[in-house]
């Protein structure tokens, strides 16, 4: 069972499950979850090999989908599901394989396709940090910069997964490195999700392209597409107010 953070609400609206992306955690989504929980119960999970959840030797989207299915199954009812990047792929796999568990689906800046870029340099950078020399977060930030992580936003993001007291990463870097081809890919699933689906992207991002739409619609025939102006791939962090308002308005349609 995945570790999760609950944001309770007594509303009769469907509960929302939030699924983070690669190198993230449930805690990264605290601002978004607290805002959205004003109108509905919200849960945010740590995916396997991330945060406080258990570590495994595998990290396929079939694994991640089954993990999410167990979380929803414990609620004894459907949930709306919001997933970003890797979490979006896991949410799509869940919706196609176990559509009876998913009410509506929000996919944040990702498509059900294989991407050519790799996230391995960031694993190498995190491994390059000498944790014995890290006494405060700024020490790790400096080492990440020296290791080639030029973006200060990404450096700050990575250190949110650093346990300063234990001097270790809350990320299973070995498995994530070994399974990177699966993470960058997407499994060949024949299933289709007939529920309402929102593909919410950053206008400055190139993760969801017009060329992806035929494949998206083949699996998600009710897909709608919305872009957030001025946002890139990390749209929920770059434009949090706009992201929250868009998600909230879409979820309230027809409720």
Residues acting as catalytic residues: 85, 174, 233
Q: Distance (Å, rounded) from C-alpha 146 to C-alpha 165?
A: 22
List Cβ neighbours of 10 (8 Å cut-off, separation of 6 or more). none
Query: Is residue 43 within 8 Å of residue 15, measured between CB atoms?
Result: yes
For the CA atoms of 220, 225, 231, 234, the dihedral, rounded to the nearest 10 degrees, stands at: -10
CA distances from 5 to 16, 55, 76, 81, 129 (A): 12, 18, 18, 15, 29
Picking from 222, 211, 183, the residue whose alpha carbon sits closest to that of residue 103 is 222
Q: Distance (Å, rounded) from C-alpha 48 to C-alpha 56?
A: 7
Q: Distance (Å, rounded) from C-alpha 152 to C-alpha 157?
A: 8
Helix (H) or strand (E) segment spanning residue 82: strand 79-84
Query: Is residue 90 within 8 Å of residue 64, measured between CB atoms?
Result: yes
- Taking the CA atoms of 48, 17, 89 and 230 in sequence, report the sign of the dihedral they define: negative
CB atoms within 10 A of CB 163: 11
For the record, the structure tokens of 233 come out as 């791939």
């Amino acid at each position: 069972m995945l570790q999760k953070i609950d944001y309770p609400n007594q509303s009769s609206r469907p509960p929302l499950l939030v699924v983070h992306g690669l190198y993230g955690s449930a805690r990264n989504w605290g601002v978004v979850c607290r805002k959205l929980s004003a109108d509905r119960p919200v849960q945010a999970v740590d995916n396997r090999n991330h945060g406080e959840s258990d570590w495994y030797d595998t990290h396929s989207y079939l694994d991640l989908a089954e993990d999410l299915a167990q979380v929803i199954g414990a609620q004894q009812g459907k949930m709306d599901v919001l997933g970003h990047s890797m979490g979006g792929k896991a949410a799509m796999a869940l919706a196609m394989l176990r559509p009876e568990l998913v009410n509506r689906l929000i996919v944040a800046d990702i498509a059900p396709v294989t991407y050519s870029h790799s996230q391995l340099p960031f694993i190498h950078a995190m491994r390059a940090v000498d944790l014995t020399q890290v006494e405060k977060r700024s020490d790790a930030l400096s080492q990440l910069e020296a290791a080639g992580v030029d973006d200060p936003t990404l450096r700050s993001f990575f250190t949110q997964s650093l346990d300063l007291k234990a001097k270790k990463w809350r990320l299973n870097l070995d498995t994530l490195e070994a399974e990177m081809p699966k993470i960058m890919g997407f499994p060949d699933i024949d299933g289709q999700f007939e529920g309402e689906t929102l593909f919410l992207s950053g206008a400055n991002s190139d993760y969801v392209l017009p060329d992806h739409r035929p494949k998206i619609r083949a699996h998600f025939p009710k897909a709608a597409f919305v872009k957030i102006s001025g946002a890139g791939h990390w749209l929920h962090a770059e434009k949090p107010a706009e992201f929250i308002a868009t998600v909230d308005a879409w979820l309230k349609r027809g409720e």
